[in-house]
Amino acid sequence: MTEVKIQKDWKKEVWAYVLLIVGSALFAVGDVMFVNPYLMAPGGTYGLSNVFNTLWPWKISLYAICMDVPLLIIGTLILGPKFGVKTIVSTALIFGFTFLLESAWGYNPVIFDGKIMEAPIEGISMVQIPHDGGWFVPDYFLNTVVAGLIYGVAIGLIFRSGATSGGSDIISMILHKYTKISLGTLVMIVDGCITLSTLVAFGDIRLPIYSIIIIFIEGKVIDLVVDGMKSYKTMFIVTDHIEAVRDYIINDLKRGGTYIAGKGLYQGAERQMIYVTLDRPDMVKLRSNLHRIDPAAFVNIMDSSEILGMGFKALPKE
């Protein structure tokens, strides 16, 4: 039994590092080939490095590693050893992939509207952005969508491997320790300042707007990669036909639930409530059949972002 468990843990760990490598490589692709050529900075140390790279030409990876390493050290000293080995490995892998890609590919765009030119063509109204070897007419919207998708898949895979993003998030964690402002708010403030740096540096209002769109798409894709497509609903059901609802949940849906005792506010009568979490198809079945079982039932249905425990995703070991 122990040998089987060790074998499963070994395979799981190998798979985690495969996800980490693929995610780090995709992150480098998104940054070098889609984000940097368009002068965007969707948060993080690599977003800030994109701005520095354009203002004072030096490799993005070198700017980023010069920020990431001190942040990891300072974060460990102030916050304690919160950053695992995989976060350090992720930092090194992203640096390596980014360095190799910008050395081999340069900062040329993959998506653009029109041909790459050696010099601006007179009469073209769209803003032209310089890159290695000439100029190109940008296709902002399509590039933004693709960049957000690539970033989302990349960071989602890194999260699934058990690593964290580190970087500018460490600044937010340190500020959170001393200010007690919520971590989510601080992350938005820090990344927002990095995003707005494109407006200050390049004077183009479109750049921070498109960077924010990247962040939005990225966040949605991260949720899909980490949590999957499955959607769960939590239902609280107050009914006078408690046994009939219970039988339907257990026998027809093959699910469990919990009784919660309560008392009505208006009449003070003792009531029982069923608490149950279901996937979307089972929720629809139960909701439809409740009208047949008890038309007077009171039901509260809520979205559940993550369900852990028996019958769902296993509880994390750490």
**How far apart are the C-alpha atoms of 170 and 187, rounded to whole Å?**
9
Report how far residue 261's alpha carbon sits from residue 180's, in angstroms, rounded to the nearest whole number: 37
Structural element, H or E, at residue 86: helix 85-104
**Cβ within 8 Å of residue 131, ≥6 positions away:** 37, 106, 107, 108, 109, 116
CATH architecture of 232-304: 2-Layer Sandwich (3.30)
E strand or H helix at 9: helix 2-30
Q: Where are the domains of the chain?
A: 2-227, 232-304
Walk along the chain (318 residues) and give the pLDDT tens digit of each residue: 455 556 667 788 888 899 999 999 999 999 999 999 999 999 889 999 999 998 898 999 999 999 999 988 888 888 777 667 888 888 999 999 999 999 999 888 888 876 666 555 554 444 556 666 667 788 889 999 999 999 999 988 988 887 776 777 788 878 877 887 776 677 778 888 999 999 988 888 999 999 999 998 988 888 788 766 667 788 898 888 888 988 988 888 888 888 888 777 777 777 788 888 887 778 888 888 888 888 888 888 887 766 666 666 666 565
Q: Residue 19's pLDDT is what? A: 92
